[in-house]
Amino acid sequence: MEISHIQPEGWGLCPVIPFGPVPVSTYAVFMLLAFAAGIAVYRRNAARTGARTGQVFPVVLAAVFGGVFGAKIPVWALTVALVPPTEWRLEHLLVGRTIAGGFVGGMLAVWWVKRRLGLRARFGNVLAPAVALGMAVGRVGCLLSGCCHGRPTALPWGVDFGDGVPRHPTQVYEILFCLAAFLFMQRRLETARPGALMTGFLAAYFVFRFAEEFLRPRDIAWGLTVFQWICLAGLLLLALRERLFRAPPGEENAAP
């Protein structure tokens, strides 16, 4: 069974960038660029809206740590289920992550930290555009490295990642989705209801990713892929959060 985050040697459009005698991972470079782009957008939006950055820091920290674990755990579980124990390698622990799982882990971690610290203000409007742009930049690294690709296709825009088989460039689909979301949210930054941009972006991404899974290699569990189940769980968590964790009107107006 094909697992899109475990690839053969030489796979990808440009998996490494020559840098003197040491080749540098293209994926790693674009992950760093993604973080830099996200931080730059966040700082600009925080200054633009007057967000209380001191309160945002623990929320961002929780989102990062929760997101890292949420992104890795489903991939580890899928690898254990599909790769025979005799073929397990250290590489399997290091490569692969799922953005959908990262969002779910990040939401749970943020919810826990905000409850522990008694924070009711919502900071999603300044964070959501930064997340969207960072994802778009990061997916360029996925495209060049050949990870997160789609299934074989006869469409004219299919991409050959190294084995002569054109595949759906699902990375490009996601780049376009994230750029469109980024531009939309930047235009609504100062007029959207507090927290609405992050909630809307997460909901839209879960729906988008659920549909996109039909174009990816399919590891089926109870009729859907593992990542489609994660998307459904994410939508359920969003609905529960909106119902149970809503700031009072006075605090909503004060919190971008």
Averaged pLDDT in 10-residue chunks for the chain of 256 residues = 56 85 88 92 88 74 83 70 60 65 85 81 87 95 92 96 94 98 96 92 96 86 85 92 63 42
- Cα→Cα distances 38→4, 21, 147, 189, 199, Å: 26, 30, 21, 15, 18
Write down the pTM of the prediction. 0.82
Are residues 131 and 205 in contact, defined by beta-carbon separation less than 8 angstroms? Answer: no
Question: Which pLDDT does position 249 carry in this prediction?
Answer: 53
CA dihedral over 211, 237, 250, 113, signed as positive or negative: negative
CA pair distance 17, 81, nearest whole angstrom: 33
Question: Which pLDDT does position 109 carry in this prediction?
Answer: 87
Q: Are strands 16-19 and 22-25 parallel, antiparallel or unpaired?
A: antiparallel
Question: Which pLDDT does position 255 carry in this prediction?
Answer: 39
Structural domain boundaries of the chain? 23-247
Question: Which pLDDT does position 108 carry in this prediction?
Answer: 87
CA pair distance 48, 175, nearest whole angstrom: 25
